[in-house]
Chain A
Amino acid sequence: MGLSVSNLHLQYGKNRILKDLSFEVGPGEIIALFGPSGVGKTSLLKMIAGIQPVNKGTIAFTEDFSKAGTILVFQDFWLFPHMNVVENITFGLKARKFSKKVIAQKINKIIHAFDLMGLEKHFPDQLSGGQQQRVALARAIVLEPKLILLDEPFANLDGHLKETMRNYLRRLQKDYRFSVVLVTHDREEAFQLADRMIILFDGEIQQIGRPKEIYFYPANQKVAQTIGESNFIPGIITNDTFKIGNTELTVQNPSNIQGEALLFIPYGAEIEICKTGLPALVESSEWSPSGQRTQMKIGETSCTFTNVSPKIVNEDRIFLQFNESLQVMPR
């Protein structure tokens, strides 16, 4: 592992911000730290980058990772306004005492890699949001870091540009082979970019896992609610059999709950309409860019799904089969 954070705590006065955080980042991995604003995600990045002292716990770099090889890129870019694009990008190289010849070579390469040709002499206030973002990334990546810490990198960009920049980051990450710890509260961003996600709130890590795993099998109700897109259907669980009315389903019961429980079904659950299965009444079915959005009543609960065949008609009584096994949570 390249970066290892263990038992990290952060406290401001009596206010405990981060409690006992432990996680690892491997070489070439993109980790998304996902959670609501104000949970201490930026402070965590600052501690990893070594620009904020660590109260308690350890941050260790192994293999070829190091503090010097870790660069933090802030949300507001902080391009130096009195320096032009080239001066901004060379700032870190000069600070690290690279020779003029090496700097010239690196600049030439990075300007092309980041599509900044023709903008070399421009000052930050002459650049668009996307160009500023590229300069900020170029300024970090030109140092060939092993680990880049990105604090809400695309929060200041509009929708279309966000998408372009995400693809751009993916491409760069493959070319330059660096690891990324990405702080975000944008769910789409986390799902699209991350190899693994760390769900952080109430100062604690709630779950670490692959995006799909977190989407379909959140560790608890809070995680499911933070991710959004969740349906909860009440019923009775006995071992791994969940009963809704007269229908029984085989489910995952990781915390071994017995009695009253909630069945968790994400909006995006793959659903097939069959002759048998969980009975549901279609309330509405509307087209949306992310898929057909279907509202159904299962038992007494109104649910939303986005991955159902569009051929169903309102007021239809149908039976649902789920392609992935579902999970129960305590009420």
Chain B
Amino acid sequence: MKLSMKRNYFLLFLVAAMIVFPILLLFCWSFSAEWMYPAIFPQEFSGKIYNQMINEPNFWPAVINSFVIAFATTLVSMVLALPAARYFAFQKKLSHRFIEIIIYLPLILPAIAIITSSQVIFLQLHLTGTFLGIILIHTYLCLPYVMQILLESYRQLGEGFSLTARSLGAKPWSIFWQITWPLLRPGILTSATFVFIISFSQYLPTFFIGGGRIVTLPLLLLPYANNGRFGLASSYSLVFLGCTLVGVFILKIVIGGIQSGTKR
């Protein structure tokens, strides 16, 4: 075997280990009935922890809430970002560039400052403790990521295809569905999965704006992790991971399932 190939395999193994090892550890924690020092592996395995997790009254509402909020945030973010990115992608004026920077503010400012100040406004608007409130704050925090990806996608795509379609007599809506959407699909899919994952894993904004009335998976997971109940924290983490994968898979089907990229 050549040296370079050996090196490649080694690197591949290293990367795989870095991904698999923490997940294995989560499995061990969540299925262990007894795991005491100095044992390397759990001394006894059982599904007790999972039983406890599923029987918790907040478990299923948390899973459903997480999905609803993350999908709604993805939808709202995409609906806002797609036309906005299209507009800003081809603007050269300084004033437009300035507005573009304002969209990136949530990335620059500390999250806690944004969340606490938003909470005051949301209280006045009676949005705290509502799904709408949580979806809005998640959208606000996710928009910079979506915009960044979509702006670059639009810039790379250029205006040539849509101008050609227009010259051939297509109407704006049909240009969007037949030309822009399929050609921008990789960027749309990336940004949508990004939003879904970010929204799914939000703790602070959900906690502050939800006011404890709307429970999501991170809200259940974090206290266990903080209090050293690693078994439950691990089982929740694995459920969290599974749910995220399911969400991303659904988005892939919805966005990229009908046609994927070029037809070949």
A139 / chain B contacts, CB cutoff of 8 Å? 168
Which listed residue (B160, B163, B169, B261) contacts A68, Cβ 8 A? Answer: B169
Task: Find chain A residues with CB under 8 A from B179 CB.
Answer: 80
Asked if A321 lies at the interface with its beta carbon under 8 angstroms from chain B, I say no
Assess whether A160 is interfacial by the CB under 8 Å rule: no
Contact between A96 and B169, CB atoms less than 8 A apart = yes
A78–B166 touching, CB < 8 Å: no
- B165 close to chain A: CB less than 8 A: yes
On chain B, the residues within 8 Å of A84 by CB distance are 263
Name which residue of chain A comes closest to B169, CB basis.
A95
Smallest Cβ-Cβ distance to B166: which chain A residue: A51
Contacts known (A76-B160, A80-B161, A82-B259); A91 close to B182, Cβ less than 8 A? no
**Pairwise interchain contact B262-A81, C-beta atoms closer than 8 A:** yes
Please measure, in the bound complex, the distance between the C-alpha atom of A224 and the C-alpha atom of B219, giving whole angstroms. 78
In the bound assembly, the distance between CA atoms of A46 and B170 in angstroms comes to 16
Asked whether any CB of chain B lies closer than 8 Å to the CB of A61, the reply is no
- The secondary structure that dominates the A interface is loop
Given contacts A80-B179, A82-B182, contact A91 B261 (CB under 8 A): no
Q: Does B178 contact A (CB under 8 A)?
A: yes
A140 touches B263 (CB 8 A): no
> Is there an interface contact between A78 and B161, defined as CB atoms closer than 8 Å?
yes
Residues of chain B contacted by A95 (CB below 8 angstroms):
165, 168-171, 174
Q: Are B165 and A91 in contact (CB under 8 A)?
A: yes
Is residue A107 contacting chain B, with contact meaning CB distance below 8 A? Answer: no
Q: What's the minimum C-beta distance from A11 to chain B, rounded to whole angstroms?
A: 15
Contacts beyond the supplied A82-B259, A95-B169, A123-B263: 11 A-B pairs with Cβ under 8 Å:
A68-B169, A72-B167, A74-B160, A74-B163, A74-B164, A81-B183, A84-B263, A95-B174, A96-B169, A123-B262, A143-B168
Specify which chain B residues have a CB less than 8 angstroms from the CB of A123 in the assembled complex.
262-264
6 of the cross-chain contacts (CB-CB < 8 Å) are A72-B164, A84-B263, A91-B165, A91-B178, A95-B169, A125-B262
Q: Are B164 and A143 in contact (CB under 8 A)?
A: no
Q: Are A92's CB and B168's CB within 8 A?
A: yes
Select which of A74, A80, A82, A92 is within 8 A of B169 by beta carbon: A92
Chain A residues within 8 Å of B, Cβ to Cβ: 46, 49, 51, 68, 71-72, 74, 76, 78, 80-84, 91-92, 95-96, 123, 125, 139-140, 143
- Chain A positions within 8 Å of B174 at CB level: 95
- Chain A neighbourhood of B169, CB < 8 A: 68, 92, 95-96, 143
B264, A49: Cβ atoms closer than 8 Å? no
Smallest CB separation, A302 vs chain B (Å)? 46
Contacting pair B183 A82 (CB below 8 A)? yes
Q: How far apart are the CA atoms of A95 and B263 in the complex, in Å?
A: 21
Q: Are B168 and A91 in contact (CB under 8 A)?
A: yes
A78 & B160 in contact (Cβ 8 Å cutoff): yes
A206 to chain B, nearest CB (A): 28
Do A71 and B168 touch across chains, with their CB atoms under 8 A apart?
A: yes
- Interface residue from B160, B167, B182 paired with A49 (Cβ < 8 Å): B167
Complex Cα distance A299/B64, Å?
95
| Distance A76 CA – B163 CA, assembled complex (angstroms) | 12
Question: Interface 1/0s, chain B 134-174, versus A by CB < 8 A?
Answer: 00000000000000000000000000110111111111001
Interfacial chain B residues near A91, Cβ < 8 Å: 165, 168, 170, 178
Report the Cα distance A241→B13, complex, angstroms: 90
Minimum CB–CB distance for B255 against chain A, Å = 14
Q: Quote the shortest CB–CB distance from B77 to chain A (angstroms).
A: 25
* Contact in complex: B170, A51 (CB < 8 Å): no
Determine the residue in chain B with the shortest Cβ distance to A136.
B164
| Chain A residues whose CB sits within 8 angstroms of the CB of B262 once the complex forms | 81-82, 123, 125
A143 neighbours in B (Cβ, 8 Å)? 168-169
Within 8 A of A (CB), among B223-264: 259, 261-264
Residues in A with CB closer than 8 Å to B171 are: 95
Say yes or no: A82-B261 contact (C-beta < 8 A), given A76-B160, A91-B178.
yes
Complex-state Cα separation, A96 to B259, whole angstroms: 24
Closest to B179 in A: A80
Q: With A123-B262, A123-B263 as known contacts, state yes or no: A51 contacts B167, CB within 8 Å.
A: yes
**What distance in Å separates the Cβ of A47 from its nearest Cβ neighbour in chain B?**
12
Which chain B positions have C-beta within 8 A of A51?
163, 166-167
Complexed CA–CA distance, A146 and B118 (Å): 58
Report chain B residues within 8 Å CB of A76: 160
Give every chain B residue within 8 A of A83 (Cβ-Cβ).
263
Residues of chain B contacted by A82 (CB below 8 angstroms):
182-183, 259, 261-263
